Structure formats: C-alpha cells, structure tokens
Chains A and B, each alone.
Chain A
Amino acid sequence: MNDMTRTGLETETATAKISARGVQVHYGQNHALKNVSVEILDRAVTAFIGPSGCGKSTFLRCLNRMNDTVASARVSGQILLEGEDIYDPRVDPVQLRARVGMVFQKPNPFPKSIYDNVAYGPKIHGLTRNKAELDAIVEASLRKAALWGEVKDRLDAPGTGLSGGQQQRLCIARAIATGPEVLLMDEPCSALDPIATAQVEELIDELRASFSVVIVTHSMQQAARVSQKTAFFHLGHLVEYGDTGDIFTNPKDPRTEAYITGRIG
C-alpha cells in the first residue's frame, strides 16, 4: 500500500471509468466549480484533496447527480460514464445512482435493522427473486464491508445502534449491495476515530479490486495511503491531477506544493 511506485505503474494499464470534460457548477451566483476535466480510472482509488470549500464535494456529487436535489445548483459540461453522458436528458438519475453508489461524510444508516439497511437497495432495484438470494447479497455485502463477523448474530438489531465506524462500514455495505461500478465517498472517515479510520481505509483498499473508488479527503496522509490517483482542487479549479506518488513527491504546480507542505489549507 505504501509502495507508491508500484501502484503508480499498476494504473497505467487501467481504463477510464468516468471522464469529466469542462464541468462547471454554479450555486445561484456562486461559481463553485470551474472547468474541471478529469479521467477517473476503473479499479483504482482516486482521491480528491484540497482546502475546505474548494469544490471537492460538489464535483463528487456531480458524478452521481446528487446535485440534482439542490435547487440552486446548475451543472454544465460533460460527464461520461463508460462513454455515456450522465447528464443526457434521457438519463434517469435514479437508475444512474444504482450504478454509482455513494457513502456520505456522516454515517447515515436508516433507522431500521442492519439487515434491512443492506437489503433496501437490492429490494427497490428488484435484484433478487427470493429471500435466499437477498440473504446471500446481504451477507456478501457485509463481508465485503468487513462487518459480517461483527454483526452476523444481530442482523435484526437497529443499524443506528452500531458504533460510528461500524455504521460507516454498514453504509459502505449498503452502497455496494446494489452492485455499483463506482463508489463515491465524501470524507468517509472524518467522523471516525483512528482505529475505525484504519479499518475503513483497509476496506477501501480491498474495494479497489472490484470497483472504481473516488474518495474525498481532507487528510493528505489518507490520500497517500489509500489512493493511486490524486486530484488537487483549489478555489473551484482542478489544479493538478496525477499519480498519487507524483503529486506528493513531485508536485508540478506551486499551489499544490504549497498545500501539501501545509502553507495553504
């Protein structure tokens, strides 16, 4: 995981899952995202870093059209998921979100049982034909989220009764239960203690095997630890994008260097 040169090489052969071209976002008069173009690779972890308010979350929320729920938000530009424009008028964002899952900053399990939390997505998308299949998906998702061992005896217990770290892993399990191709995570560890953070980071590293993972983080160490690609945002601009190792050891833009050496932030 710490071997950056190796991970850097590994991504060379990967294909782009999402390509964004000239994405602009306005919140009313506020120009929050300015002309962002980026290629997000399949089966890799991409980290978005940058100071608070620079538009990381805004861009992330563009990728599964969660910005549609913000009345004042206007998105322009092009975002292609495997070559198809997700802002095409024919696209139903609900269908899109089944393929591009999301994990939020604050763990937000439904106030239902652990089982129902994970089973909800597969149920509404009609992914299973019977209870046995659903059980299998729930178990597989919880296993992938490294939570199965801790909750397998109390699947009927409320999800809100778990610890913060467990809740976040439950949310990850819930997101992967719908079988998404991309997993968006907005500062998934910011509400967690160091031990839970380490568990979630380890999990993210494992998820890379099956998904394209995009993670927003305010922790540069975290970005360095879990990601293969890093994008640095500043004041709504995508300043620099490249292999994580290069960004941290050899930044090209002076603003990136200033940020990672702690002079802006």
Chain B
Amino acid sequence: MTDLSAAPGFTARPKSSILTASAEMKRRNAAEARFKAYGMIAVAIALATLAIMLFTILRDGVSAFHQARLTFPMELSAEVLDPKGNRNREEMSKVTTVGYQKVLSKALLAELDRQGIAQEGVSDKEIGELISKDAAGELRARVLADPALLGTTITANVLATGRIDGFLKGRVTLETAERDSNISPDQLRLAEKLRDAGLLRSSWNWDFFTNADASDQRPEAAGLGVALLGSAYMMLLVLVMCVPVGVAASIYLEEFAPKNRWTDAIEVNISNLAAVPSIVFGILGLAIFINFAGLPQSSSLVGALVISLMTLPTIIIATRASIRAVPPSIRDAALGVGASKMQTVFHHVLPLAMPGILTGTILGLASALGETAPLLLIGMVAFVDNYPSAPPEGFLDPATALPVQVYSWASRADPAFIERSNGAIIVLLVFLVIMNVGAILLRRRFERRW
C-alpha cells in the first residue's frame, strides 16, 4: 500500500468506509438518476402521443364498421317494374332507379301503416328520403339479375340515408337537423320510432370492405373495396418487381462487384435515392410512365412502378446489410472446401441473410402500403366506382389505394365521409401492424444461428 501510493502517478486515496457513499459517488448517482428520468419522460411522451393518436382515430373511425339499415317486407309489383309483363331484361331496364325508389318508399310507408306508426307531419316523400339513394340502384340490379323475384314479397334490407346513420351514431342530433337541409328533426323523431319498432337497426358493415367509393349524396354506400383491391394489386406488383431486382443488385454489389470509385458512387446514390421525397417520385412517374411511356393514368401498374422506385433502395439497403452481417468465416469455410463464389453465396450466404432480407422487404412493403403523395400525382385519387378487373388486365384499370382513399374521403364535405376516412385509417393501420409483427416474428424466429 505504501509502496503503491509512493509510486509515480498514484496519489494516495483517503481511507473511507465503503458503507457510506462519498460525495463524488452521490453526484454520479444523482446524474444517473436524472438521466434515467429524462429517458422515462421521453418514452412517456412518445407513448402518450401514440395513445392520443390511436384514441382519436378509434373514436372517430370505429363507427364506420357499423351501418344503419332499414328492414321491411316489400312487394315487388310486377305491373310497376315490368310494365310489358314479358320478363324481358331489355324491356325491364327501361324502369330507372326512380321507379325502384318509388317501390321502396311505398313499401316502407305500407309497413309504417301496418305497424301503426303515425307519420306525425312527415310527408310521404320525406319518409322515402330515409332510404339511401343507393338502395334503389342495388334493388334494380338485383331484380334485373333475377326477374323471378317479380311478384313476390321480399324482405328489403336497405341502407338508411347517411344522416339517419349519423343520428344512430350520435353524430346528427335534433339541433343540427334544424340547420340541415338534408334532414328535419321530424324525420329524426320518426327514425327513433322506426328503431324502437325494429325496422331501423345498426349492424356490422361488410359493405365497407367490399363497396366501391360513392358519390357525395350517398356516403352511407361508400366502401374500401376498390382501394383494398388496388393496394393489393400494387403490393403484388411491387413485390414481384422489387425483390428479384433488389436482391440481385445487393448480391452483386456485396459479393461480386470490385470495390472502386464506381461502386462507391453507386452505393452513395442508392442511399440518396432512399432519401428522395416521395412526391419527387410521383412527378417522375407522371413524366416517364404516363406522359412518356403512355401507360394509363390511375392504374395500379403505374402506382406500383412509382412505389417500386422508392421501395427498391430500401430493400437493397436492408439486403446488403444482412448479407454483410453473415460472418466472413462462413464464406472462408465454403471457399476452403472448393465451393465457387456463386455456390458460396447461394448455399451459405443467402440462406443466412434470408431472414434479414425478408424483414427488410416486409418493412419496405409496409411503408409502400402507406405511401400517398406519389399516387396523388399519377391520378390514383380519382373517383373510381368500378372494380378493376382480374389481373393481368386489371393492373391497367383505374384503381385507388388505401391511403389515397383516406385522403380523398378526408377532403369531402360530409362528416359521414370523415368517419369513413378514419375507418379506412384503422384498416390501414391493422395491415401495417400485421406486417410489422410479421417482420418481428421472422427476426425472432431466425435470430442469428452461428
């Protein structure tokens, strides 16, 4: 001890008990405690933001998954719907939706009458308005598809108009109805009676997932069908275009390319490409794919091409990182027993890098799924109420995409569309969460095995 403290460079440390903390130690501990507190505050802020976001989206969007429907028996009068009486579809289609509208409101009135519900100053026309404008078209299509229904009495299960739906969900009240030209307080009171009588009910809204977008007058009929299909088409195309190209490019750059100025330049440019704002890709897509190559606007093919440009760098970066993470000793081992470069890569490096590649691909696709801006520029925000046909021709048909649907509904005036916009966000988030969880599970499952 004396020897040590006498040695140059050592200063004698005052003797103290280790049972009491020194002032220096207290200061260090306090700094550590402060740092931990900052960290916890930061995490709390992040979690709170997330919670608020999820809460507002769920509050405003969950109702989109339920929809008010009117159920009543309805006689499909053959005289009205098929005046010639020959069940000829061509002749029958002369009856427009207006005719069907009349049949529907007459049936509803008859049911009110039968159940003894007083109209209380609500006119016949106003009662007809409780039924969605979409219902007549739907009924017409159903009858034209199956003329045998004529003359029978069916149970109509039709959408109620958006305001009535809003009333059941609490969005529309008697006060707002005063100022609303589309609905009157009397109509709402009548709707209340219909609900009590079991004619009007809110039920699970499958149509939200299957219907196409609808015009401003019929928010209750608007659905995500075309957007879901468009997004699915695009993801499929992005997958098919990006994965082979991205993986091949990464393998070449990592394993085969000489390390020189050219490959350095390529590397820098790929990173830059990943950082280019997405709207720029939209402009590029508009100029190249639509104006120059003449591909159809709003098609999922053009959308996928544009998004591929953005996803490709992500996939290349992730793939290169996971190829680089394979230990060189594995390459040595393979080369050492006389495997060729190609065999080394395909037998050993790629299988070990695969989980990383898959994870990167899934995350790349997840961000592609939420990409909006470039799709707006190539016209995917257009109102599309027809389903794209089956692939491959369907890839050229106009379609829209989930995030774009969110955008276009959010910019419509009717609050019923805002609700649907939030509902669409929920659907989008569910997909993103599923993809991210899938990526995490993959990573866990194949945690490095060497």
Binding site for B on A (CB under 8 A): 64, 66, 69, 71, 94-98, 101-104, 106, 108-111, 120-121, 124-125, 158, 160, 171, 174-175, 177-178
Cα distance, A101 to B258, chains bound together (Å): 26
Q: How far is the CB of B392 from chain A (nearest CB, A)?
A: 39
Q: Are B329 and A97 in contact (CB under 8 A)?
A: no
Partner of B338, one of A69, A71, A95, A110: A95
Give 27 A-B contacts (CB < 8 Å), ordered by A residue: A64-B336, A69-B331, A69-B335, A71-B258, A71-B259, A94-B338, A95-B338, A96-B338, A97-B337, A98-B337, A98-B338, A104-B332, A104-B336, A106-B329, A108-B329, A109-B333, A110-B333, A111-B330, A111-B352, A120-B334, A120-B337, A124-B337, A124-B343, A124-B347, A158-B449, A171-B333, A178-B338
Cα distance, A107 to B450, chains bound together (Å): 11
Q: Are B343 and A104 in contact (CB under 8 A)?
A: no
Chain A residues whose CB sits within 8 angstroms of the CB of B347 once the complex forms: 120, 124
Cα distance, A125 to B327, chains bound together (Å): 24
Q: Are A108 and B338 in contact (CB under 8 A)?
A: no
Chain A residues whose CB sits within 8 angstroms of the CB of B348 once the complex forms: 110
In the complex, whether B123 has a CB less than 8 A from a CB of chain A is no
Cα distance, A178 to B331, chains bound together (Å): 17
Cα distance, A160 to B327, chains bound together (Å): 14
Chain B residues whose CB sits within 8 angstroms of the CB of A110 once the complex forms: 330, 333-334, 348
Chain A residues whose CB sits within 8 angstroms of the CB of B329 once the complex forms: 104, 106, 108
Binding site for A on B (CB under 8 A): 258-259, 327, 329-340, 343, 347-348, 352, 449-450
Chain A residues whose CB sits within 8 angstroms of the CB of B333 once the complex forms: 104, 108-110, 171, 174
Q: Are B336 and A66 in contact (CB under 8 A)?
A: yes
Chain A residues whose CB sits within 8 angstroms of the CB of B335 once the complex forms: 66, 69, 94, 97
Chain B residues whose CB sits within 8 angstroms of the CB of A108 once the complex forms: 327, 329-330, 332-333
Cα distance, A160 to B336, chains bound together (Å): 18
Cα distance, A158 to B450, chains bound together (Å): 10
Chain A residues whose CB sits within 8 angstroms of the CB of B258 once the complex forms: 71
Q: How far is the CB of B345 from chain A (nearest CB, A)?
A: 13
Q: Which chain B residue has the least Cβ–Cβ distance from A104?
A: B332
Q: Which chain B residue has the least Cβ–Cβ distance from A72?
A: B259
Cα distance, A95 to B332, chains bound together (Å): 15
Q: Which chain B residue has the least Cβ–Cβ distance from A95?
A: B338
Chain A residues whose CB sits within 8 angstroms of the CB of B449 once the complex forms: 111, 158, 160
Q: Are A97 and B450 in contact (CB under 8 A)?
A: no
Cα distance, A111 to B449, chains bound together (Å): 7
Q: How far is the CB of A107 from chain B (nearest CB, A)?
A: 9
| Interface hub of A95, A96, A124, A125 (most chain B Cβ within 10 A) | A124
Q: Are B450 and A111 in contact (CB under 8 A)?
A: yes
Chain A residues whose CB sits within 8 angstroms of the CB of B330 once the complex forms: 108, 110-111
Chain A residues whose CB sits within 8 angstroms of the CB of B327 once the complex forms: 108
Q: Are B450 and A121 in contact (CB under 8 A)?
A: no
Q: Are A125 and B336 in contact (CB under 8 A)?
A: no
Task: Assess A124 versus B339: contact at CB under 8 Å? Given A108-B329, A110-B330.
Answer: yes
Cα distance, A104 to B331, chains bound together (Å): 12
